[in-house]
Structure 1
Amino acid sequence: MTPGRISPEAVLAASERAGIRDEPVTASEVAAEVGCTRRTALNKLDTLADRGTIRTKKVGARSRVWWLPDDGDAPPEPATAGLDGVPPDGGESDRLESEFREMFERISDAFYALDDDWQFTYVNDRAEELIDYRDAGLVGQDFWEVFEWATDSTLGEEYRTAMETQEPTAFEFYYPEPLEAWYEVSAYPSETGLSVYFRDITDRKRREREIEEYRSQYETLVENFPNGAVALVDPDLRYEVFGGSPESTEELTRTDLEGKGVRESLPEELADVVVPGYEAALDGESSEFEAAVGDRSYRFHFLPVRDDAGDVFAALGMSQDVTERKERERRLQRYQEYIDAVLDAIDDVFYILDESGQFRQWNDSVPAVTGYRDEEIASMSPLEFFDESDRTRVAAAIREGFENGSVQIEAETVTKAGDRVPFEFVASALDSPSGDRVLAGVGRDITEQVERERKLEAAVDELEASNERLESFASMLAHELRNPVTIGQIYTRQLPDETDSTAVEYVTEAFDRIEDMIDVMLVLTRGTEAVGERVPVDLAAVARSVWDELSVPDATLTVAVDRTIRADETYVRHLFRNLFENAVEHGSTSNRPEDDDTVEHCSTGDQPPDAEATAERDGRGVAVTVGDLQTGFYVADDGAGIPPDERDAVFEAGYTTAADGGGTGLGLAFVQELADVYGWECTATESDAGGARFEFRDVERDPPCL
């Protein structure tokens, strides 16, 4: 049978089956017979006792029993004759009086009888215990004299009305001192007097008063309860206080529910959820759970409400609609599952650490890389994945990540099998959805990168060694060449005058060019180390001197520079010589190409010394200008110029368009290298006349003397 639908009549029938007509029964026996909780049986038995159908009393400190009066459904109306102090007439009357006395003594309620003169004719033990507080005996005394206060009280009014109308009455009354207690009084009039039953209902009135106090206390909660309902339910599962909106039954109001039974007031689906919660609370148990009602989700909370003695006299139930929250949680769960799937699909290691430095989350790559199972990782510190020599550094990096917001570190992880794998870890500090500070990071296997770096370092070391060998070879070769060149120059100057002057000139020039080539080679191979001490160099004077040495009568030089710089004059002379010869060789107005073929950018000294070549070197009218720039100088000509897409390539070593004519492609490479050695910016561009222009900026000046 459903607990909320058990009627007092059903409990009475079960009590009779349990033997209540023969002997007192307990609430537990009745509950077992009905198939309900002891609390439900207790509530229904109290209802029957309130009606006067059965009687009850305490047995010991916490137990109670119930029984039926001898005449069944209603308390017996005593016959005042024979109980008024007049001796019975014997026989059957004596027997009946004896039985009545025995019955009234068994009744747990207080009972007394008054005759039509308002004198006590009988008082049972319970009544004497309660109202004979002077211990003077009540039988034979006038009721109005014993209880003078009752004359103008509700008690006196009810008694007089009952006798006048000969109608029974029942009412609640507060007895003043010395009892100071509430009683439920039932008075049954007859022509010969008044029979009165009364019992102490102080506890019940106290509970009602406490419920009323709780009602007042919960009014604010009830009226302002958010997004749900709150209710105070009495032991009979009736609503005492209600507020809010019942789950999925918005049409029900407070007026509809207060004073009504929970089971009868709610839809069956909802009642099946809340009634067990209220019953458990009335049995002293708290509960909290979530359940679906219809298409909505609710969170329920049931609490026992206790009086000052600790006894449960009501149950508090609360519910809140959590449908939106549950939907958010489901979306968050789906999103988290999506994120987890994405992270697990990443080959790199992903992890989240809390502020204590322990793992909060990781993806599938962590166990795949380390060889540890998830349950092992959950019990491990991140530091355990590194060699002891690296743990202090890794711990410091974790602290740095939390303090500075981000961190990057490279370290070798040690797998479960003992293998070492180099990783790069990058992490950032974030606030988790719960508000905690966490460190989220990614670890990437850099084995291939480390191997490439190792090979690159090896290649650099090998290149440096090769450069050292090349520099050593260049120095040795320069030393070995200078000796025969010097000897050749000396002996050339000692040739007799009748020697062929043209041949001597070419031999001398060849020796000079070899010496120049040695200087160029040293700069290209040794860089800064090949350049001597920086001294003041007058650009204009050096430019004119170098031009005079070239002997190109058909070409012209204009010097429009007034600048003294700090450099090695020998190499500045080489720079001008290469630029001038490049302009004369490839800038002749009669030698301009008819198409976009590039000019040769090499030294004229590389050409064979024959008459035809000499004629080509005359320049045929090319004009060369050495001019001033704000931070340097330039050398320009009015020749054929350099195509834009080849202006960077002309500085590369070996670049030449005149290889068949002996060009080496080292002339402009030397110019670029020398500029780099001195920290100058060197660029090739077009001159105002359409020819080639080489600009040098950021050239160090020689400070003037003051």
Structure 2
Amino acid sequence: MIYSNFKMKSPYFIISFGVILFLTAATHHANELSAVNGMISPVVAFLLDGLPALVLAYAGYRLTGIGLSSEDRWQIWVWCLCGATLLMTIMGFSILIRAFEGRVIGEALFPLLIATEAGGIAGVVGGYQTGRARTETRRAQSASDTLRERTRQLKGVLDAVEAAIWIRDTDSRFVLVNHTFRTLFDIEEETEVAGKLPEEVVLQEIAEGFRENDQQVLETEESIEIKETIETDHGRRTFLTRITPLFEDGDLYATCGIASDITGQKEYQRTIEQQNERLDQFASVVSHDLRNPLNVARGRLELAQEECDSGQLEKVDRALDRMDTLIEDVLLLARGGDNVTEVEPVKLQTIIKNCWANVDTGSATIVSHINRTVHADRSRLKRVFENLIRNAIEHNDDDVAVTIGELDDGFYVEDDGLGVSEDVRNNVFDAGYTATNKGTGFGLNIVKKGIMAHGWDIKLTEATDGGARFEITGVTFE
């Protein structure tokens, strides 16, 4: 550490060296002024060997503010010292040779000072250029190492992405591909892809598609998103591909593609479509093939009731009513989608009042403490309230009281009836589950599907009076 700090002080050695040379020249020429007549010659000589000394000192001063390493600073000082020593030695030998030859030497110190200063300045310049070159080399090496590390990290990130990613230049030559891309087209990790054209990497048909997509992005300078099905080494796959132009200083230099494999989603979508088709067929059968015979049976029953009065006919009537309710519930389940697509503002107070009027409530009572508006599918929300109200009436005494109130993020429907034991609360929403012979077992399943279709949640818990309490949460009020 001490040695390194010592080397960092090297510019001050150069400053000191220049000052010493300047003071030597000043002293020498001051003595010369007292020994000779006239000032012109000593002054001119002082300018010739004094100014270079100041230049050398100033160069050392400038080096103190330049970002060089301690080694580079020390190297400049060594070069300065070596340059000064070399030229001073050469000049000294020249003077000695002249002296041995018997030539008259009028002044020896003056040329020695000039030679020393010139050598020192030349050494500083040479040392600085060398040090700067070494610094630039180190910076370039550091930048190269950083770039290599960042590239390795980027490749690691891209290889972890399940989507196929690639970058191609404006000539459609590959710059980079990730591991998923290599896997899709069975390209070995050791195979160099950078710099190759699409047809050198994938099948001709696929390569033509790559080029067409690149050309579209290059012409419009805008991103594109396409669905495409291509043949890979893993069979035919469907991809959702987004290709984006890459710019540098306003110039488009490459395109980046990200292809997500949506084959599974497409297959799932086809499965859902097939299931919906079967449900539509089932709903058609229920609606026509079952209701028609049911209507015939009801007509025959009415004729029979006109001809005779029998308790057995009343049982038949109740059975037909139950079948009609069952068919209606099955149709609701079959035709109700998983998600609500169209919503409208619905006033809860109004729809609750209408639903209560639509249900055979007998001597039951209702109290509503909510007067808010929600965005919902009016028809499906109507089924929710009707089935919750009907559930409370069918599973309790005739004088059951139903209460509907507001929660922080939703509403609740509760009754003061018998309640639901905790061990079966998770089963009440299952299709076909019923605890009495009055219900069809589909009502609460319809409720749950209607709630979930809106993106809400429903939970069955115990009411304040011991009855059943259905809490619907996740609702956003106006």
For the residue of structure 2 that corresponds to 1:494, the secondary structure is helix
Deviation at 1:389, TM superposition (A): 5.1
Counterpart among 375, 378, 386 of residue 195 in structure 2: 378
For the residue of structure 2 that corresponds to 1:483, the secondary structure is helix
Change (3 A) 1:512 1:576: farther
**Deviations 1:195-254, CA, capped at 9 Å, x for gaps:** xxxxxxxxxxxxxxxx99x979x879956775999xxxxxxxxxxxxxx87557278277
Inter-partner Cα distance in structure 1 for 2:192 and 2:454: 65
**Deviations 1:321-379, CA, capped at 9 Å, x for gaps:** 5445444444444444445556667487665566x566684368678848699888526
**Higher-Rg member (1/2):** 1
Deviation at 1:692, TM superposition (A): 0.6
Decide whether the 8 Å contact of 2:405 with 2:412 is kept in 1. Answer: yes
Letter in 1 for 2:353: L
Query: Larger helix proportion, structure 1 or 2?
Result: 2
Which residue is 1:547 aligned to?
Answer: 361
Counterpart among 274, 296, 299 of residue 462 in structure 1: 274
Change (3 A) 1:695 1:490: farther
Change (3 A) 1:421 1:219: farther
Letter in 2 for 1:452: G
Which residue is 1:526 aligned to?
Answer: 335
Which residue is 2:366 aligned to?
Answer: 559
Decide whether the 8 Å contact of 2:228 with 2:238 is kept in 1. Answer: yes
**Deviations 1:152-199, CA, capped at 9 Å, x for gaps:** xxxxxxxxxxxxxxxxxxxxxxxxxxxxxxxxxxxxxxxxxxxxxxxx
Inter-partner Cα distance in structure 2 for 1:384 and 1:257: 63
Which residue is 2:401 aligned to?
Answer: 625
Which residue is 1:394 aligned to?
Answer: 214
Letter in 1 for 2:320: F
Which residue is 1:108 aligned to?
Answer: none
Deviation at 1:426, TM superposition (A): 7.1
Deviation at 1:465, TM superposition (A): 1.7
Letter in 1 for 2:367: A
Change (3 A) 1:525 1:393: same
Deviation at 1:490, TM superposition (A): 0.6
Counterpart among 285, 302, 309 of residue 490 in structure 1: 302
Letter in 2 for 1:667: G
Inter-partner Cα distance in structure 2 for 1:428 and 1:474: 55
Which residue is 2:106 aligned to?
Answer: none
Query: Larger strand proportion, structure 1 or 2?
Result: 1
Decide whether the 8 Å contact of 1:637 with 1:693 is kept in 2. Answer: yes
**Deviations 1:271-296, CA, capped at 9 Å, x for gaps:** xxxxxxxxxxxxxxxxxxxxxxxxxx
Letter in 2 for 1:394: D
Q: Aligned-residue CA RMSD in angstroms? A: 6.1
- Whose RCO is larger (CA < 8 A, sep 6+)? 2
Decide whether the 8 Å contact of 2:217 with 2:245 is kept in 1. Answer: no
**Deviations 1:429-448, CA, capped at 9 Å, x for gaps:** 5879xx9987695756x5xx
Decide whether the 8 Å contact of 2:355 with 2:385 is kept in 1. Answer: no
**Deviations 1:569-592, CA, capped at 9 Å, x for gaps:** x979964773244432xxxxxxxx
Aligned length: 361
Inter-partner Cα distance in structure 2 for 1:375 and 1:542: 73
Normalised TM-score (structure 1): 0.38
Counterpart among 637, 654, 657 of residue 432 in structure 2: 654
Counterpart among 459, 468, 472 of residue 692 in structure 1: 468
For the residue of structure 2 that corresponds to 1:485, the secondary structure is helix
Inter-partner Cα distance in structure 1 for 2:387 and 2:427: 18
For the residue of structure 2 that corresponds to 1:653, the secondary structure is coil
Which residue is 1:477 aligned to?
Answer: 289
**Deviations 1:129-156, CA, capped at 9 Å, x for gaps:** xxxxxxxxxxxxxxxxxxxxxxxxxxxx
Which residue is 2:98 aligned to?
Answer: none
Decide whether the 8 Å contact of 1:228 with 1:246 is kept in 2. Answer: no
- Correspondences of 1:234-253 after superposition (within 5 Å): 246-247=75-76, 249=78, 252=81
Letter in 1 for 2:312: A
Deviation at 1:487, TM superposition (A): 1.9
Q: 5+ residue gaps in structure 1?
A: 1-210, 230-243, 265-299, 303-315, 529-533, 549-555, 585-618, 701-706
Letter in 2 for 1:638: D
Which residue is 2:442 aligned to?
Answer: 666
Deviation at 1:495, TM superposition (A): 4.1
Change (3 A) 1:662 1:505: closer
Deviation at 1:654, TM superposition (A): 2.0
**Deviations 1:591-629, CA, capped at 9 Å, x for gaps:** xxxxxxxxxxxxxxxxxxxxxxxxxxxx4xx75113454
Deviation at 1:652, TM superposition (A): 3.0
Change (3 A) 1:399 1:343: farther
For the residue of structure 2 that corresponds to 1:639, the secondary structure is coil
Which residue is 1:637 aligned to?
Answer: 415
Change (3 A) 1:362 1:389: closer
Change (3 A) 1:699 1:408: closer
Which residue is 2:176 aligned to?
Answer: 362
Change (3 A) 1:455 1:420: closer
Deviation at 1:412, TM superposition (A): 7.0
For the residue of structure 1 that corresponds to 2:432, the secondary structure is coil
Letter in 2 for 1:378: G
